Structure formats: structure tokens, C-alpha cells
Structure 1
Amino acid sequence: MELAQQFETAVAASKTLAEKPSNEILLQLYSLYKQATEGDVSGEGPSNPFDFVAKAKHNAWEELKGKSKEDAMKEYVALVQRLKG
């Protein structure tokens, strides 16, 4: 199966996991998805200093700066496979 197809299958599977992943895992899924679909983060992040969720999401995505879209897809697929157990 082509990587893009594996990625799309993993995205769909991530929405039907038996149990909700921890916040840390959810941030990993979010940041890998964003890196795989949009590439490096741009902008300075949320302007509201008290929007902790948006700030955490932005920071998690920013940590992946420089990672190729293909590598992000591979890591996303592997993480979802691990979560499906």
C-alpha cells in the first residue's frame, strides 16, 4: 500500500480507537498530522497567553520543524498501529 493510503487509513483508524489516548499521545498525533499535511509550522502561535491547549499544540508542531512530510506520515502510521495494539 502506498504511504499516502496508509496515512489516510491511519487517520481514519485514529478516530475509532478503543480508548481515548492520553493528552501527550493526542499532541503527538496532532503534530505529526499537521507536519504530514502542511509541513513546517508558520507564525508565532496563539496570541492569547492563556490558551494553553492552542499553545501546547503549536509547540508540539513546532518541535517537528524540518521533519519531512513523508517521515511524519510514517511516524503517524506507526503510532496509530501501536495504539490499535
Structure 2
Amino acid sequence: MSLQEQFAQAQADSKNLPERPDNMTLLKIYALFKQGSAGDASGDRPGMTDFVARAKFDAWAELKGTSQDDAMQQYINLIEDLKSA
């Protein structure tokens, strides 16, 4: 199975986890997904009043420089860990 196929499978699996991850883990899932699918963070950082969007953007921006393949593999590994938790 290719990395792309594993990434797509992990996306599907992420919707059926046995427990809802905590907020920090959810941010990590989001950031790794965005880095794996779109590369480095782009666009303007959301304003101070939009806490959720700002946190998501900041988590994604922290991964700047991580290759898309590496981010996809980290995403796959994280979802696998959460599935077996």
C-alpha cells in the first residue's frame, strides 16, 4: 500500500476512533494532516478573537519545513496509536 493510500486510510480511520482525543492531540492530528496534504502553512494567521482557528494555524505553522511524506507518516502513526489505545 502506498503512503498516499495509507494516509487516505488513516483519514477514514480518524473518524472512527474508540475515544475522542484530547484537544492537544486533535491539534496535532489537524496539523499533521494539513502539513501532509498541503505542505507548509500559508495564508494569514487568524485574529486574536478566533481562538480555535488561531490554535489550528499555529499548530500547523510549527511543522514548517517538515516534508509532506514525513508528515503523512507521522499522521498515519498517530492515528494507528489512537486506534489501539
Structure 2 distance, partners of 1:42, 1:6, is 25
Stretches of structure 1 that go unaligned for 5 or more consecutive residues are none
The normalised TM-score by structure 2 is: 0.95
RMSD: 0.7
- Could you tell me which residue of structure 2 aligns to residue 54 of structure 1? 53
Q: Across the two proteins, how many residue pairs are aligned to each other?
A: 84
In the alignment, structure 1 residue 72 sits paired with structure 2 residue 71: yes
User: How do residues 1-85 of structure 1 correspond to structure 2 at under 5 angstroms?
Assistant: 1-46=1-46, 48-85=47-84
Unaligned runs of 5+ in 2: none
TM-score (norm: length of structure 1): 0.95
**Divergent runs of 4+, >6 A:** none
Write out per-residue CA displacement over residues 59-85 of structure 1, whole angstroms, 9 at most, x where no aligned residue.
000000000000000000000000001
What displacement does 1:45 show?
Answer: 1.0
